[in-house]
Structure 1
Amino acid sequence: MELQQMRYVVAVAETSNFTRAAEQCQVVQSALSHQIARLERELGAKLFERTSRRVRLTSAGEAFLPAARQALDAAERARAEVAAAAGEIRGRLAIGAIPTVVAVDLPAELKQFHLRHREVRISLRSGGSEELIERVQQGTLDVAFLGLPLGVRPKGVHGRELARGDLVAIVAPGHPLADREHVDLHQLSDEPFVDFPPRTAARAQTDEAFAAAGARREVAFEVTTVDFMARLIRQGLGVGMLPAAFVPDVPDLPVLRLRDAPARMEHLIWSRFPPSPAAAAFLSGLGISAA
């Protein structure tokens, strides 16, 4: 069993297509197919079901894929550790972040990190805090920036609180409340809301605040990005809630301070296991020791 064969399996699993997988791996399709067939003979099991229309993992393939990814990650980690012993940081750095990170200027940090460590391959995934926590626990992300309600601490990871602050309400220009400096949640309870999906940390902090205030609201529009939220609010379709520190990113929308504002914390988390050289270097650049 060879690492290259595992790379081919992972590529086919990710693309669901032998041709695209071969292009991604920069080999001819016949060579990729031959190596996968050779691996299947060695394993005594088919890894893929092939039809004229689709390629999908068999049950054996689904069992093999996580182990193959772990083996490839371990091999890359071994190369990175050897390079680090010689004073060179290389390998990969996989970062996760919620869309409303404000405690750190993440694009600027990534630029500086890239300039210092050009041999590191950086990837960034945006998502909800729960998904990002799970990915750090699984090892598919090295670090992640989260937004959580006060008092919530991610489990199964190391972390540090970066900042905390209140949420504010965002309304459309010309909204009847747009000229108000302060409102309370009861004054907003009859408004349709634009918010993140249920069972996300971003949604929970607002839901909990309305429940604590004894107010009810209707979330008419569920979105996953701040940009789409702002576009819907701009059209007068609903009211939204965003961190106060984030509102300069939507300067054309009136901001209402809340007397009973929901609060949230931003966290940076990383794995409980020793970080890769690239992850350790990134944390160090933020003034954090992962030891």
Structure 2
Amino acid sequence: MDLQQMRYVLAVAETASFTRAAERCHIVQSALSHQVARLEKELGARLFDRTSRRVRLTTAGEAFLPSARQALEAAERARAEVAAATGEIRGTLTVGSIPTVAAVDLPAVLRDYRLRYPQVGISLRAGSSERFVEQVRDGRLDAAFLGVQPGFRPQGVRDKELAHGHHVAVVAPGHPLAAEDEVDLRLLAEEVFVDFADGSAARAQSDQAFAAVGLRREVAFEVSGIELMVRMVRHGLGIALLPAAFAAELHGLRCVPITNGPIRVERLIWGRFTPSPAASAFLSLLGVSMPSPPA
């Protein structure tokens, strides 16, 4: 078997179509199908069940896929290491970030990185802090920006604290709280809230602040994205608790400081093992120095 055959199998698995896989790989479908069939013959097992309506992995195909991905990643890493040895940074960089990151100007960092290392392909993934820890640990992300509680330390990864700040109450301009210079959690507990999903790290920061003083609040609206949360607050459907540094950038809303309010820590995480040249360059741009290899 060769790496190109593995790429074809991966493309078919991800698109669930030989036609779309061929388009992605810039090859005619008959040639792609022929290469997959050759690989199946060599392995002595069918990797895909094909019908007129769908294509899906067989049990053998599901077993083959993780190792094929690892082989392709290893090959890409080898190319990147050779290029780095000659002074050129190339390869891929995949970064995860919560939507409310404020400790760094992420678009500016990515712009500077692209200018310095134009041969690196950059991908940015949105998501939750708890999922990012797993994805960095598994090698699916090179690095990620988290927003967590002060006592939270991600397991199985390396990390660096970037910022430590308080939440504010975000309300519509016409809301009664908009005229306040500061509010107490007891007063906020009477309000209706728009917040992230129950059980998420973003939600836990606020829930535990109320629980710590023996208060309960009503989260009537759960959302998955910050854009919808902000729109609902603007329409007066509820109020939100957001990090002060991030909320300050929101237009048309009032941010009110909270007495003994929730605290959020932003952390940068990356893998425990030696990062790729592209990832090392990104971490260096953020002030993370990699230890020199032993002589």
Counterpart residue number, 2:252 = 252
Separation (CA, whole Å) in 1 of partners of 2:196 and 2:61: 34
Structure 1, 185-194 or 123-132: larger mean CA deviation:
185-194
Structure 1, 237-246 or 216-225: larger mean CA deviation:
216-225
Counterpart residue number, 2:129 = 129
Separation (CA, whole Å) in 2 of partners of 1:12 and 1:287: 40
Counterpart residue number, 2:179 = 179
- Alpha-carbon offset, residue 237 of structure 1: 1.1
Consecutive unaligned residues of structure 2, counting only runs of 5 or more, are none
Amino acid at match of 2:33: S
Counterpart residue number, 1:42 = 42
Counterpart residue number, 1:157 = 157
- Alpha-carbon offset, residue 222 of structure 1: 1.5
- Alpha-carbon offset, residue 38 of structure 1: 1.5
Amino acid at match of 1:38: R
Identity %: 64
- Alpha-carbon offset, residue 54 of structure 1: 2.0
1:2 to 2:32 alignment:
no
Counterpart residue number, 1:263 = 263
- Alpha-carbon offset, residue 153 of structure 1: 0.6
Counterpart residue number, 1:54 = 54
Q: TM-score, normalised by structure 2?
A: 0.96
- Alpha-carbon offset, residue 215 of structure 1: 1.0
Counterpart residue number, 2:192 = 192
Task: For residue 155 of structure 1, give the secondary structure of its aligned residue in structure 2.
Answer: coil
Consecutive unaligned residues of structure 1, counting only runs of 5 or more, are none
Contact 2:136 2:157 in 1 (8 A): yes
Aligned CA-pair RMSD = 1.1
Amino acid at match of 1:66: P
Counterpart residue number, 1:105 = 105
The Cα offsets for residues 122-146 of structure 1, whole Å up to 9 and x where unpaired, read as 1100110011111100001101111
Contact 2:248 2:255 in 1 (8 A): no
Separation (CA, whole Å) in 2 of partners of 1:47 and 1:220: 47
Separation (CA, whole Å) in 1 of partners of 2:191 and 2:32: 56
Counterpart residue number, 1:17 = 17
- Alpha-carbon offset, residue 199 of structure 1: 2.0
Amino acid at match of 2:112: Q
Q: Count the aligned residue pairs.
A: 291
Counterpart residue number, 1:283 = 283
1:120 to 2:132 alignment:
no
Separation (CA, whole Å) in 1 of partners of 2:83 and 2:156: 29
Structure 1, 272-281 or 244-253: larger mean CA deviation:
244-253
Separation (CA, whole Å) in 2 of partners of 1:37 and 1:199: 45
Separation (CA, whole Å) in 2 of partners of 1:57 and 1:181: 59
Separation (CA, whole Å) in 1 of partners of 2:136 and 2:84: 22
1:63 to 2:63 alignment:
yes
Separation (CA, whole Å) in 2 of partners of 1:138 and 1:101: 22
Structure 1, 48-57 or 6-15: larger mean CA deviation:
48-57
Contact 2:160 2:267 in 1 (8 A): yes
1:79 to 2:84 alignment:
no
Task: For residue 284 of structure 1, give the secondary structure of its aligned residue in structure 2.
Answer: helix
Q: TM-score, normalised by structure 1?
A: 0.97
- Alpha-carbon offset, residue 20 of structure 1: 1.3
The Cα offsets for residues 218-266 of structure 1, whole Å up to 9 and x where unpaired, read as 2222112111110111111111111000013212111121102100110
